[in-house]
Amino acid sequence: MATKKTTPSKGRRRTPPNPNPEYEFLGPPGAVAMLIALPLVTYGLYFNCRPGFGCIPAYWNSKDGYWPSVGTDPSTYPTDLWNFFVSTWDTDAFYTYSAFMLFLFICYFVIPGQVVEGTVVGGVGGSPLTKDRSNYKLKYKVNALRTLLLIAVLIIATLFIKGVEPFLFLHDHFLGLITASLVWTFGVSIFVYVWSFIPDSNGQEKILACGGNTGNKIYDFVLGRELNPRFSPSPDSTFDIKYFIELRPGLIGWILLNFGMACKQYHDLGRITNSMIFVQTFETFYVVDSLWNESAVLTTMDITTDGFGFMLANGLLTWLPMNYSLQARYLAAFPVDMSLTHSLIVVAVQCIGYYIFRGANGQKDNFRRYGASAPQNKGLKYMETATGSKLLISGWWGTARHINYFGDWLMALAWSLPCGLLSPIPYFYPIYFAVLLFHRERRDEEKCRKKYGKDWEKYCEKVKWRIIPYVY
Ligand code: NDP
Q: Is residue 360 located within the same domain as residue 265?
A: no
What distance in angstroms lies between residue 301's CA and the mean position of ligand 1's atoms? 6
Q: Is residue 245 located within the same domain as residue 394?
A: no
> Which residue among 247, 316, 356, 408 is best mutated to probe the pocket of ligand 1, counting the most ligand atoms within 8 A of its Cβ?
408
Neighbours of 103 (CB within 10 A): 16
Task: Give me the domain span that covers residue 259.
Answer: 24-58+76-336
- Counting from 1 in the atom list of ligand 1, the atom nearest the Cα of 302 is 25
- Counting from 1 in the atom list of ligand 1, the atom nearest the Cα of 401 is 15
Taking alpha carbons only, the member of 199, 198, 173 closest to residue 260 is: 173
Q: Is residue 331 located within the same domain as residue 343?
A: no
Question: pLDDT digit string (tens) for 412-431?
Answer: 999 999 999 888 889 999 99
Number of domains in the chain: 2
Taking alpha carbons only, the member of 251, 330, 317, 283 closest to residue 97 is: 317
Task: Identify the pLDDT of residue 234.
Answer: 73
Q: Is residue 350 located within the same domain as residue 329?
A: no
Whole-structure pTM value:
0.85
Domain membership of residue 426 (yes or no) is yes
Q: Is residue 404 located within the same domain as residue 457?
A: yes
The CA angle 113-115-118, to the nearest 5 degrees, is 135
Domain membership of residue 18 (yes or no) is no
Task: Identify the pLDDT of residue 67.
Answer: 53
Q: Is residue 347 located within the same domain as residue 453?
A: yes
Question: pLDDT digit string (tens) for 237-289?
Answer: 788 999 999 999 999 999 999 999 999 999 999 999 999 999 999 999 999 99
Confidence of residue 8 (pLDDT cuts 50, 70, 90): very low
What distance in angstroms lies between residue 444's CA and the mean position of ligand 1's atoms? 8
Burial per residue of 426-442, b for 16 or more beta-carbon CB atoms within 10 angstroms, e otherwise: bbbbbebbeebbeeebe
Domain boundary among 290, 310, 336: 336
Domain boundary among 318, 336, 354: 336
Confidence of residue 71 (pLDDT cuts 50, 70, 90): low
* DSSP bridge partners of 226: 208
What distance in angstroms lies between residue 434's CA and the mean position of ligand 1's atoms? 15
For atom 11 of ligand 1, the residue with the nearest CA is 448
With a Cβ cut-off of 6 Å, ligand 1 is lined by 300-302, 357, 361, 364, 389, 391-392, 397, 402, 404-405, 408, 440, 444, 447-448, 451
Confidence of residue 151 (pLDDT cuts 50, 70, 90): very high
Domain boundary among 314, 336, 358: 336
For atom 33 of ligand 1, the residue with the nearest CA is 405
- Residue 5 buriedness (CB in 10 A; 0-12 / 13-18 / 19+): exposed
Q: Is residue 303 located within the same domain as residue 375?
A: no
> 149-153, 174-178, 225-229 — which is least confidently predicted?
225-229
Domain membership of residue 32 (yes or no) is yes
Domain membership of residue 354 (yes or no) is yes
> Which residue among 314, 439, 444 is best mutated to probe the pocket of ligand 1, counting the most ligand atoms within 8 A of its Cβ?
444
Task: Identify the pLDDT of residue 254.
Answer: 97
Q: Is residue 424 located within the same domain as residue 303?
A: no
Domain membership of residue 226 (yes or no) is yes
Task: Identify the pLDDT of residue 453.
Answer: 92
Domain membership of residue 19 (yes or no) is no
The CA angle 289-294-298, to the nearest 5 degrees, is 135
Q: Is residue 440 located within the same domain as residue 329?
A: no
Domain membership of residue 266 (yes or no) is yes
Q: Is residue 349 located within the same domain as residue 233?
A: no
For atom 2 of ligand 1, the residue with the nearest CA is 300
Q: Is 140 helix (H, G, I), strand (E, B) or coil?
A: strand
What does the alpha-carbon distance between residue 235 and residue 451 come to, in Å, rounded to a whole number?
Answer: 36
Judged against a pLDDT cut of 60, whether residue 57 lies above it is answered with no
User: Residue 222 in contact with residue 31, Cβ under 8 Å?
Assistant: yes
Percentage of the chain lying above the pLDDT 90 cut: 61
Question: pLDDT digit string (tens) for 76-127?
Answer: 777 877 888 888 999 999 999 999 999 999 999 999 998 888 777 765 555 6
Task: Identify the pLDDT of residue 58.
Answer: 43
Q: Is residue 328 located within the same domain as residue 367?
A: no
Judged against a pLDDT cut of 60, whether residue 68 lies above it is answered with no
Calculate mean pLDDT across residues 140-151. 95
Q: Is residue 223 located within the same domain as residue 363?
A: no
Judged against a pLDDT cut of 70, whether residue 12 lies above it is answered with no
Confidence of residue 292 (pLDDT cuts 50, 70, 90): very high
- Counting from 1 in the atom list of ligand 1, the atom nearest the Cα of 389 is 48
Domain membership of residue 1 (yes or no) is no
Question: pLDDT digit string (tens) for 367-377?
Answer: 888 888 888 88
Judged against a pLDDT cut of 90, whether residue 359 lies above it is answered with yes
> 19-33, 46-60, 311-325, 337-351 — which is least confidently predicted?
46-60
